[in-house]
Amino acid sequence: MKEIKYKNIDRKIELFNYKNNIIKYNNKVNYEEIGLEEFFIKVFSRNNELPFEDKRVKGEDYTKGKYNAICVEIGAYTKKIKDKGEEKEVSCSNNYIITNDLEILGDFYDANFVITSPITYIGRTRNSNNSRTCYGLAFDVDGVEKQQIEDILHQMKTGFIPTANIIVNSGNGVHLYYLFDKPISLFENIKYLLKDFKYQLTDIIWNSYTSNIKTKQFQGIFQGFRLPDTKTKFGEKVQAFATNRKYYTVSELNGFIKDPKKRLKEDEIHIIENAIYKRKKLSLKEAKEKYPDWYERRIVKGQKKGTWHIKRDLYDWWLRKCYSEEIREGHRYFTLMALSMYALKCNISEEELLNDAYKLLEKMESLTTNEDNHFTEDDIKDSLAAFKENYRTFPRKDIEKLTGVLIPANKRNGRKQEIHLKGARMLQELDDPNSNWRNKEGRPKGAKDKKPRKNKKDIIQQWKIKNPNGNKYQCEKELGISRHTVIKWW
């Protein structure tokens, strides 16, 4: 497939260089250019010490309590596949673990497409389950030209938006890094809080003055971005700039959210800033003795963790959405990322996903209204990284937020409403054969309890926030809510 070329590459390079010069030489915020290695030190080092493991000798175990950054090179190599009898060549990605010596970074200079996020992980895979510590939040602001970069710096100076510790000029837009003074442990409840926190900050940082694209792009905390000293889409070197502004507390960033109702509450900030990840004491050797069946299945045989299997109808439905008029220019990347997620959920092969995604190139490019915002094969490769990084459990509501497409919840498990309700009534009759479960007379007259009942989901989520180490059983006992309801909203 022929890649789409930019019609005015000289203008793009001129604009890119202009942004570099404005960031470096502006009189509003003092930024100095930094390279790839210094970028990693700025992002991850605290008290002059990197948190990563030392480079391991083959055969040695992982260092307890040490976690690493992971970089992903998209399109690192190609492999041949067969699709309906026809042989095709597809691109594949490589994951790289960053250790204390930072030695592997030397392999990334001038690479076409390498991404990372300000998060450390256990193991080799960049996914939510393996995440351990968050060192900051990175925001991608697209549609940044001459006026927009000047306004970004002006808003930082006036305090309308927070001053970024690092700005990365990545091509069409910029990446703004806000680094935490104390890294944050990523318990499940804290991931939930930080995700919403980042959405609210995005709403402030991405505004009509900082971007020429009206549709804001909301991204999760795990989103990876291009590394400094690698290449932009049009071949120039991605450049990073750092200021000596001190690192942020969550409370400080929270103050930039204009609407008090949308800010994190005091108890939520306390939970985030005081969580400490404690490594579980059970070693692999102990696990073998205590859980021999699990060890045989997962370690010896290498079987993957069990997951729900969803019919491919969901994938096919989203693929049809990709061709619909609901997709807008600012959401193309995330629409294809969602296609990768649904491919995982529905056990669609990587070969089929790649074939479907590349067929969408012409459709996505046809939505281009801005000469500097063409949709290319690089965008497809980038978006398909979600298939490599195992976004299988990415929530429906977040996909709605990222793509701008309404996704109705399916609570009938594929059954027609009549059959679904018939089954529900049968279960109720079994529980209550005297049919007292439904009050056909309605609410008793004169009932005094007219206070609106609190949503069970909110009650359970608030309990999780306040009890980060709690489990379902404790939640059930303390709240007096049925186990089924706790499991439903856990």
Is residue 23 a contact partner of residue 31, using CB atoms and an 8 Å limit?
yes
CA 208 – CA 439 distance, rounded (Å): 53
Per-residue model confidence as pLDDT tens digits over 468-481: 778 887 888 888 88
Looking at the structure, tell me whether residues 133 and 19 fall in a common domain. Answer: yes
Q: Do the domain assignments include residue 31?
A: yes
Please tell me the predicted confidence (pLDDT) of residue 380: 86
Q: What is the mean pLDDT of residues 257-282?
A: 81
Looking at the structure, tell me whether residues 339 and 483 fall in a common domain. Answer: no
Classified as helix, coil or strand, 89 is strand
According to the per-residue pLDDT averaged within each range, which of 9-18, 181-190, 245-254, 352-361 is highest?
245-254
- Nearest-Å Rg of the Cα atoms of the chain is 25
Q: What is the mean pLDDT of residues 30-39?
A: 96
In this prediction the pTM is 0.63
CA 142 – CA 202 distance, rounded (Å): 12
Residue count of the chain, please give it: 490
Looking at the structure, tell me whether residues 256 and 349 fall in a common domain. Answer: no
Q: Which has the closest alpha carbon to 213: 338, 329, 322, 324?
A: 329
Q: Do the domain assignments include residue 294?
A: no
Count of the separate structural domains present in the chain: 3
Round the average pLDDT of the chain to a whole number and report it. Answer: 84
Is residue 32 a contact partner of residue 24, using CB atoms and an 8 Å limit?
yes
Looking at the structure, tell me whether residues 132 and 237 fall in a common domain. Answer: yes
Does residue 63 surpass a pLDDT of 80?
no
CA 444 – CA 212 distance, rounded (Å): 57
Looking at the structure, tell me whether residues 153 and 14 fall in a common domain. Answer: yes
Per-residue model confidence as pLDDT tens digits over 199-231: 999 999 999 999 999 889 899 999 999 999 999
Q: How many helices (H) and strands (E) does the chain have?
A: 19, 10
Q: Do the domain assignments include residue 283?
A: no
Looking at the structure, tell me whether residues 354 and 467 fall in a common domain. Answer: no
Higher model confidence: residue 65 or residue 455?
455
Give 91's strand partners.
Answer: 78
* Domain encompassing residue 341: 313-403
Q: Which has the closest alpha carbon to 361: 346, 343, 383?
A: 383
CA 237 – CA 36 distance, rounded (Å): 11
Q: Which has the closest alpha carbon to 114: 194, 225, 14?
A: 225
Residue 33: both structure tokens together: 């250019």
Looking at the structure, tell me whether residues 122 and 243 fall in a common domain. Answer: yes
